[in-house]
Chain A
């Protein structure tokens, strides 16, 4: 297996707080990798560093063989690492279709018509094609999360970073999301790194899981093994349960 996205010893300090401390992880080609941990463990900080939103204090990030450490977000996105946001951030003044078109035009290297074609294809893929001329304000939360994913997919990424796309939607929609995440990998061949709190979803969709606690990587392995790991149980539930 070859690594699509690799982080080596990533650390991020915010003043005296070590939000990430020497985090090393590797997303293999065609893998769905889960990044879990209690609130405040530094998962979103890790994402932000991988996507170029914030520069790491130390450590390096590689996309394949290419080093992308410290590059601005738009370059990282064009290179092929695209993230979604935990709290969805659609462009409110653009239609659903335009939201995706702009991403396709900037990242996919296609011309105007090609970008629109790709955007529409991705909207069809996530099931939002019928809403393409609506504005995001009119969408439900689940649809806005799908829009966030379609927009990221319109960048034609190699690695997709999904930040809590399942949390907050109802159980039926959650099952759809899980199926959608699998299809992104199976049909589009895109490797996925996902932060998720809904453990049922993590257990069913992720082949491999890494666990962050207080900025440090405390466990890695198959989901079934990891949830029985004493350090992980302690991080989530406290010492007496471990």
Chain B
């Protein structure tokens, strides 16, 4: 009997995602509310970015504080391609994605070899340098005053379904990267890059591949953002706050888990849009507090919380402290509680 799907795809997960996608696809016709329509579009875009960030930050454990660089490059390249060359929207997104992915490789190929926190520190520099260069690179970005795309009200409405497709593709890629045989190699690299090399894992190639995919997806999301808002400027696109938002979504939802960052993105957008109206100055501060609490009490975020509840409610499932092989979250961002009492 020939299988249609690879053995590592669980039918239950596939059905759950298909049902959710179908509901989301018809939802706008049911609620008919423009505000919610926009909120959902933003949320779906945030989901795609959070998942793409998580491939590098979660699966490989290389936490990037500079992912806005690829988001911004994607946005401006896509906008410029559409305005100056007249490239169709989707083609411009993809072209911008490829350029953003290549840009990620330019700085990432050398810096991914750094160990520990040094990669993260380097990404802060990359993010800020990119922001400054693009602020002064007027013919690409329009400088501080930014650039505009023609406003198309109908298109903005339709972009909801494009965002849905983007989020679904990112989710499928998240699942494939983690569940396919490649996923084990990525976790091995995250755990011990030298030991991984000693058993034949080509860490340089895999790290570069994941970085490219992550940067490319970020670039496509940036292109989408440009089309959606019709106006972009470097201070917002490349801002440190944006880079931090990707980290926050991942951490809130569960860094390194398959779908956690997607849930984190939903919470993030909900909180942001309710807080920004009432406490416009405070909302980043509140995120900082949230970040501290998550890291202190539940390093795996909402996914960790869910697993803790599951352990209480269903002890028979044998969910372990680290991650159950069959749970939704086998990949983790924290060192397991090793009992360091080795025999002398």
Contact = CB atoms under 8 A, between A and B. Distances in A.
Interface of A: 51-53, 72-74, 77-78, 82-83, 85, 89-95, 98-99, 101-103, 105-107, 112-113, 115, 133, 135, 137-138, 140-142, 151-152, 154-155, 168-170
Contacts of B336: 92-93, 135, 137
B192 interface: yes
Interface string B333-344: 001111100111
Nearest to A83: B198
Nearest to A98: B184
Given A53-B194, A93-B336, A170-B343, A74 B181 contact: no
B322 A93 contact: yes
Nearest to B205: A74
Contacts of B204: 72
A51 B8 CA distance: 32
A77 B198 CA distance: 6
Contacts of B194: 53, 73, 89
Contact of A91 (B192, B197, B325): B192
B89 interface: no
B132 interface: no
Interface in B140-166: none
A91 B200 contact: no
6 contacts: A91-B188, A93-B187, A102-B199, A103-B200, A106-B200, A107-B199
A91 B187 contact: yes
B52 interface: no
Contacts of A74: 196-198, 200-203
Chain B, interface SS category: loop
Contact of B191 (A82, A91, A112, A169): A91
B131 interface: no
B190 interface: yes
Nearest to A85: B195
A122 B251 CA distance: 37
B191 to A, nearest CB: 4
Which 6 A/B pairs are nearest by Cβ-Cβ distance?
A106-B200, A103-B199, A107-B200, A73-B197, A91-B191, A77-B200
Contact of A101 (B184, B195, B197, B335): B184
Given A105-B181, A169-B343, A137 B337 contact: yes
Interface string B174-216: 0000000100110110111011111111111000000000000
Contacts of A170: 343
Contacts of B342: 141, 168
B7 interface: yes
B197 A53 contact: yes
Contact of A106 (B185, B325, B331): B185
Given A91-B195, A106-B201, A138-B339, 13 more contacts: A53-B197, A74-B201, A77-B197, A92-B335, A93-B191, A93-B323, A103-B200, A106-B202, A112-B7, A141-B343, A155-B200, A168-B343, A169-B343
Contacts of A138: 339
A90 B184 CA distance: 13
A157 to B, nearest CB: 10
Contacts of B185: 102, 105-106
A82 B196 CA distance: 11
B198 A51 contact: yes
B200 A93 contact: no
Contacts of A141: 342-343
B265 interface: no
Contacts of B192: 89, 91
Contacts of B203: 74
B339 A91 contact: no
A197 to B, nearest CB: 14
A75 B339 CA distance: 34
A102 B188 CA distance: 8
